[in-house]
Amino acid sequence: MPLLSSLLRPLLRYWGRNAAPKSQGTITIPGLSARVRVSWDPYSIPHLYAANEHDLFIAQGYLHAQERLWQMDLTRRFLTGRLAEILGHRPVPAGELSIRFRDRSSVEMDYFMRLMGVSRSARASVRVLSQAFVERLLAYSEGVNRYLETHLNSLPLEFRLLRYQPEPWSPEDCLTIGKGFALLLSSALFTRLTWSALVGKLKGQEVKLAYLAPLPSAGPCVAEGFAEQASKIMRFVSGIFQKGDWALGGQGSNNWVLALGRSSTGKPILCNDPHLRMTLPPVWYLIHLKAGDAFEVWGGSIPGCPCVHVGHNRWIAWGCTAALCDDGELYRERHHPANADLYLAGDRWKTVASEEEVIAIRGGSPVTKKIRFTRHGPLISDFAPLNEGASDEGLALKWTAHEPSEEMRCLYGVNCARNWEEFLESLSYQSAPSLNYLYADTAGNIGYSLAGKIPLRAAPPSFLPLPGWDDAFEWKG
């Protein structure tokens, strides 16, 4: 071992030097209309000064790629269901990850993420954005791709060990990262899976459930076999997302704000502590962005996306935490006895929509998975078919994050807001995840607002699957 260590150490130092971020000198980036200056403070936080937003976001993308390229690409692959392309069909590699993903293969993970449809939703969201916002995403992506083009021979060590090169970045990838947070910060699916599994375990002992959570007396229920399916899916997703505790109340972030009258400085004080998972590198990338005199923000950005997600500009400060609102629903779908691709909607049989997803596998043949959709959403029960074969019912997920949305418009608007009214207007474009926003401004005002879409239900909400064929349980908006 000492001999092996002595041989590897120089090689690792060489790789490390080649992949180290550049903090001095001049870099030429085609597409810039003027010079962008970048300086690092004693805390290694970069400060970007550009003549315009287009140049600024190109530079931000370049810096994110320079320091977080492996993190960005791995996150993209996880959320889009493309891990098997680099890992092959095998259990997740040994170490800390294998504890969370024990007995799960990369292909299973890819299939589940494609069922959840994060990338489908991101593609649809790009199409509803105005051209101005698409241009900002394109500029950011241009910066990421410029770094890729010029550093193919000095990529981070992880790419060399796995022997692959990352693909170009795109606006869709930026929105995929954002939609991924909607999945990570949503509790609706995990809550319903947990309670469905509990009902199966406590069959005939429903009084015990009453002590833990309210259950409607009519309508929602768990059919025979659903508890088994819910339990299988829950075991899988709890390993990936560590969400089992959220079903019984959740974890908590915190943020708070003091009015100027309660502050020794005579100014409001805002503090924000989002409880995201501890990772290395961390979720956040601290940065200062300035474009001319119109745009300037300081705060925590997320590699893969432009702008700043929590922070302040010259007029306002803001922070956010997960609101964990009930933003989804599980529906029992009744299939036709003679044709599993027909399901009951009201008093009519409808044909499921479907897409074929091809999962490429490194060192193996690709696997084709069929993803089926009802009027409510993807049939997630297809992920865990019952042992006895086809069932006459399935479970479909309806989720606000599946809808095309304009979170980029919210993010940029908050970065630019100068007062409470502009801040609130920007929050109106947030769809998923639902977030608790705190606010303070230089005029001494403080405020709170919930942002995100929450279903308007005609019936009382339930932790159990609803009868998908009954229109009485449809969302009203």
Closest by CA position to 311, among listed 323, 335, 295, 324: 295
**What range does the domain containing 136 cover?**
50-184
List pLDDT tens digits, range 217-247: 444 455 555 566 666 666 666 555 554 444 4
Residue 397's pLDDT band (boundaries 50, 70, 90)? very high
Question: Which one has a higher pLDDT value, 191 or 6?
Answer: 191
Residue 464's pLDDT band (boundaries 50, 70, 90)? confident
- Range from 138-152, 296-310, 379-393 carrying the lowest mean pLDDT: 379-393
* Number of domains into which the chain is organized: 1
Phi, psi angles (nearest 5°) of residue 209? -65, -30
- pLDDT given at position 470: 94
- pLDDT given at position 60: 99
Q: Is residue 71 situated within a structural domain?
A: yes
Q: Is residue 142 situated within a structural domain?
A: yes
The radius of gyration of the chain from alpha carbons, rounded to an integer in Å, stands at 24
Name every residue whose Cβ is closer than 8 Å to that of residue 50 and which is 6 or more positions away in sequence: 34, 36, 37, 56, 59, 290, 291, 292
Question: Which one has a higher pLDDT value, 185 or 428?
Answer: 428
Residue 18, classified by CB atoms within 10 Å of its CB into exposed (0-12), middle (13-18) or buried (19+), is middle
CATH code at 146?
1.10.439.10
Check residue 200 and give left, alpha or beta (phi > 0: left; psi -120 to 50: alpha).
alpha
Q: Is residue 79 situated within a structural domain?
A: yes
What is the overall mean pLDDT for the chain? 87
Judged by DSSP in three states, 397 sits in: strand
Please state the rounded mean pLDDT for residues 431-435. 96
Alpha carbon 364 to its chain centroid, in Å, reads 29
Q: Does the pLDDT value for residue 122 go beyond 70?
A: yes
Residue 101's pLDDT band (boundaries 50, 70, 90)? very low
% pLDDT > 90, the chain: 69
Residues across the chain: 477
Q: Does the pLDDT value for residue 296 go beyond 70?
A: yes
Respond yes or no on whether the N-terminal peptide bond of residue 281 is cis (omega within 30° of 0): yes
**Contact assessment for residue 171 and residue 408, using Cβ atoms and an 8 Å cutoff:** no
- Report how far residue 105's alpha carbon sits from residue 298's, in angstroms, rounded to the nearest whole number: 40
- Range from 170-179, 229-238, 240-249, 372-381 carrying the lowest mean pLDDT: 240-249
Respond yes or no on whether the N-terminal peptide bond of residue 433 is cis (omega within 30° of 0): yes
Alpha carbon 351 to its chain centroid, in Å, reads 30
Q: Is residue 436 situated within a structural domain?
A: no
Bridge partners (DSSP) of residue 355 are 371
Bridge partners (DSSP) of residue 436 are 321, 450
End-to-end Cα separation, the chain, in angstroms:
64
Strand duo 328-336 + 466-467: pairing: parallel
Only one residue has tokens 């994060």, namely 118
Q: Does the pLDDT value for residue 14 go beyond 70?
A: no
- Report how far residue 295's alpha carbon sits from residue 273's, in angstroms, rounded to the nearest whole number: 25
Q: Is residue 428 situated within a structural domain?
A: no
